[in-house]
Amino acid sequence: MAAVTTTPRQKISWGTTNVVVVVLALIPVLWLVSLSFKTPAAILDPSYWPKAWTWSNYSQILSTSQFIRPLINSIGIGVIATFIAVVLASMAAYAVARLQFPGKSVLIGMALLIAVFPQIALITPLFSIERGLGLFNTWPGLIIPYVAFGLPLGIYTLSAFFREIPWELEKAAKVDGATPFQAFVKVIAPLAAPGMVTTAILVFFACWNDFLFAISFTSTISSRTAPASIAYFSGSSQFTVPTGPIAAAAVVITIPIIIFVLFFQRRIVAGLTSGAVKG
Amino acid sequence: MAAIVLDQVTKRFPDGALAVDKISLDIKDGEFVILVGPSGCGKSTTLNMIAGLEDITEGELLIGGQVVNSKSPKDRDIAMVFQSYALYPHMTVRENMGFALKLAKTPQATIDEKVNEAARILDLTQHLDRKPANLSGGQRQRVAMGRAIVRDPAAFLMDEPLSNLDAKLRVQTRTEVSRLQRRLGTTMVYVTHDQTEAMTLGDRVAVMRAGQLQQFATPKELYDSPLNLFVAGFMGSPAMNFLPGTVEEGQLRTPLGDLPLTNQLRQELEKAGAPRDLIVGIRPENFEDASLVSADARPHGITFPATVDVIESLGSDVFVHFTKNLERGVDSAELRELAQDSGRANPDGGDEIVARLDAATHVREGEDVQLWADVRSLHVFDPATGRNLALSGRAAAPSSAATPAADAPASAPGTDTSADSPAESPDLPAQ
The whole-angstrom distance between B131's CA and the closest CA on chain A is 8
Could you state, in order of their start, the residue ranges of all structural domains in chain A?
Answer: 64-275
| Chain B residues touching A191 at Cβ < 8 A | 89-90
What φ, ψ does residue B176 adopt, rounded to 5°? -65, -40
Distance of CA B404 to the CA centre of its chain: 14
The whole-angstrom distance between A173's CA and the closest CA on chain B is 8
**CB atoms B99 and A176 under 8 Å:** yes
The whole-angstrom distance between B51's CA and the closest CA on chain A is 7
The pLDDT value recorded for residue B417 is: 37
Residues 285-304 of B with CB under 8 A from A: none
Per-residue pLDDT band at A46 (split at 50, 70, 90): confident
Among all residues of chain B, which has the CA nearest to that of A193? B90
Of chain B, the percentage scoring pLDDT greater than 70 comes to: 86
Of the candidates A192, A207, A267, A177, the one whose C-alpha atom is nearest the C-alpha of residue A81 is A207
> How is the beta sheet containing B379-381 ordered, strand by strand?
B257-260, B251-254, B241-248, B277-282, B379-381
Residues of chain B with pLDDT under 50: 345-349, 393-431
Confidence (pTM):
0.75
Summary mean pLDDT of chain A: 85
Q: Are A190 and B99 in contact (CB under 8 A)?
A: no
The pLDDT value recorded for residue A276 is: 45
- Quick check: B85 contacting A, CB < 8 Å? yes
The string of DSSP letters for A111-144 reads HHHHHHS-GGGGHHHHHHHHHHHT-TTSHHHHHH
Q: Is a pLDDT exceeding 80 seen at residue A33?
A: yes
pLDDT in tens, B72-92: 888 898 999 998 899 999 899
The string of DSSP letters for A88-116 reads HHHHHHHHHHH---TTHHHHHHHHHHHHH
Q: Domain A64-275 - what CATH class?
A: mainly alpha
Q: Are B383 and B274 in contact (CB under 8 A)?
A: no
Of chain A, the percentage scoring pLDDT greater than 90 comes to: 29
**CB atoms B131 and A175 under 8 Å:** no
| Chain B residues touching A277 at Cβ < 8 A | 84-87
Q: What is the 3-state secondary structure (H, E, C) of B372-387?
A: EEECCCCEEECCCCCE
- Quick check: A124 contacting B, CB < 8 Å? no
Distance of CA B113 to the CA centre of its chain: 38
The pLDDT value recorded for residue B269 is: 79
Q: How far is residue B416's CA from residue B290's CA, in Å, rounded to a whole number?
A: 24
The pLDDT value recorded for residue B115 is: 93
Q: How far is residue B376's CA from residue A198's CA, in Å, rounded to a whole number?
A: 71
Among all residues of chain B, which has the CA nearest to that of A183? B103
Q: Measuring CA to CA, how many Å separate B160 from each of A164, B2, B163?
A: 22, 22, 6
The pLDDT value recorded for residue B351 is: 67
**CB atoms B74 and A191 under 8 Å:** no
pLDDT in tens, A225-241: 999 998 888 766 666 77
The whole-angstrom distance between B80's CA and the closest CA on chain A is 7
What residue type is B226 in one-letter code?
Answer: P
Residues 150-169 of A with CB under 8 A from B: 166, 168-169
Q: Are B273 and B345 in contact (CB under 8 A)?
A: no
